[in-house]
Structure 1
Amino acid sequence: MPVIDVWMQHPTLRHSNHEMFEPLRRWTGQGLLKEPLPVETTVAAMAAADVEIGLSAAWYGPQGPLISNDEVAEFVAQSDGRLRGVAGADLTRPVQAVRELRRAVEELGFVALRIVPWLWQLPPTDRLYYPLYAACVDLGIPFCTQVGHTGPLRPSETGRPIPYIDQVALDFPELNIVCGHIGYPWTTEMIAVADKHANVYIDTSAYTARRYPREMVDYLRGRGRRNVLFGTNYPMITPGQALEHLDALDLDEETTELFLCGNARRVFSL
């Protein structure tokens, strides 16, 4: 069965070796990169787990891009069709951010916007996000963000589904919002927000299948089967690692297809 990974990034040295990721490197046993990771390595890791498409994101923060939109476009061009671009933007320059998002979508062919709130230490309800939300609606693309605690050494408050995602969904009912990293330890809140709003989705990135919280597995098996998307957070977790214990979730065939690729094709218009 083909797989779509909705949360991954092909890293630059600026991104992978940043000091804030030291806890993740310690946890995963990954050291500092000594040279840039070849795109071929990422494509091979995807192919080994039947990942047909990976949504490779840019990373923009207050100190500038850790992975720029143009770098992502280069990675996409080298990927033999396996990667699609997800844009980043500088929240502190809202007019330029909207222009850059439009360029990324209309000229570079990107399929979504991703902002990581803890990187900015600004919750998704901050006014600096709102021009980008309106632009996403106009462009017909989803907004991707992080929910739950932070592994990196940054505060976790910005990852709370309630009140932040709940309020954004109320203010922008036409905006598809994809919430990465499950939302733990606020998983029940995240599920409640996805139940409440037709435009809110959850992705399982940063977790292997055997680490999904019990309430998320129950939701995926039942009423949430059209609301949950597969993601890895590669290169922290490879697709093979993320999917290793998928059979233990005891999903039926329809739910498996929706989870691994069907929901992503619909939400991201792939």
Structure 2
Amino acid sequence: MIIDAWGQHPTLRHAQDPMFDSLRSWTKTPAPTEELPVSTTVALMDQAGVDKMLISAWEAPCNSMISNEEVEGFVAEAPDRFVGVGSVDISKPMDAVREVRRCVQERGFKAIRVLPWLWEVPPTDRRFYPVFTACVEEGVPFCTQIGHTGPLMPSEVGRPLYLDQVALDFPELVIVGGHIGYPWTEEAVAVATKHENVYIDTSAYTAGRYPPELVRFMQGHGAAKVLFGTNYPMMPPAQALKGLDKLGLAEDKQALFLGGNSQRVFGL
């Protein structure tokens, strides 16, 4: 089984947002002009042999780029293929806590994701802590971005070392840091090694471009700590899997990476 730990089925307002212009310059693709059908995303998953994709809401300051309600609707269109991941407005702590509970209890979502660079504060900011508490209480992972940002926003808030303090304060919290933490991948590996409940996902990178320190971690003591991800639609699943055979992973460790770890971490 292959599970994509980080995807989005985008709304048009998300896909057209000017903050992604820098990413479009990399991929040499224009901003879309029409809503993307769910069937298109599922077809691209089929092409790459991806069984399930965790699709995320996007809450930014004063801007719901992909709402939790929209994610719920996308999941309803492909319930055997999509798994919902909610997001919350951290500027309203009590509303955020209530929304975490609603996402899990009423919508059946399996995780919550908040991106520090969207808020321009690290995950140690006090506004994140009620969200962490709610995730622990509801028994779902907190997903976030680590590493530099493709959009032209400050990268420093994505230093993986910030998660060290979060994990110390919330040892029960399951944390998944997406985008491998580059250029601080060694920090990400160190934090995931130190803390039982900290994981790394490989979204936004093709398998052939994983840093050597991450590959060594996957080959050795970190086999149960790294999850496959794409960051779709920025990267189609087939592209994200390119170079997989060159990682030198034993069969059992490759199975964990592609799906087993996500099954366990997200309770799928």
TM-score (norm 1): 0.98
Alpha-carbon shift at residue 40 of structure 1 (Å): 0.3
* Alignment-mate amino acid for residue 223 of structure 1: H
Map of 1:225 onto structure 2: 223
Q: How far apart in 2 are the matches of 1:80 and 1:141? A: 19
State how far apart, in whole Å, the 1-side matches of 2:200 and 2:68 are.
Answer: 24
The answer for the alignment partner of 1:207 in structure 2 is 205
Aligned-pair identity (%) = 60
Q: Is 1:145 paired with 2:177?
A: no
Residue identity matched to 1:33: P
Q: Which moved more, 1:73-82 or 1:251-260?
A: 73-82
TM-superposed deviation, 1:63: 2.2
User: Deviation of residue 81 (structure 1)?
Assistant: 1.4
Out of 181, 185, 203, which is 1:183 matched to?
181
Q: Give 1:79's aligned residue.
A: 78
Matches within 5 A, 1:60-139: 60-139=59-138
Q: What residue is the counterpart of 2:14 in the other structure? A: 15
How many angstroms does 1:80 deviate by? 4.4
Aligned Cα RMSD in Å?
0.7
Structure 1 stretch displaced more, 76-85 or 181-190: 76-85
Measure, in 1, the Cα distance between the counterparts of 2:149 and 2:194.
Answer: 25
Amino acid at match of 1:241: Q
Which deviates more from structure 2 when the two are superposed, residues 110-119 or residues 77-86? 77-86
Which amino acid is the alignment partner of residue 52 of structure 2? I
Runs of 4+ in 1 over 2 A off after TM superposition: none
SS state of the match for residue 51, structure 2? Answer: strand
How far off is 1:259 after superposition? 0.1
Aligned residues: 268
Q: Distance in 1 between matches of 2:51 and 2:175?
A: 22
SS of 1:55's partner is strand
1:29 shift after superposition: 1.3
The answer on 1:263 being equivalent to 2:256 is no
2:243 maps to 1:240: no
- How many Å separate the matches in 2 of 1:205 and 1:188? 17
Shift of 1:152: 0.3
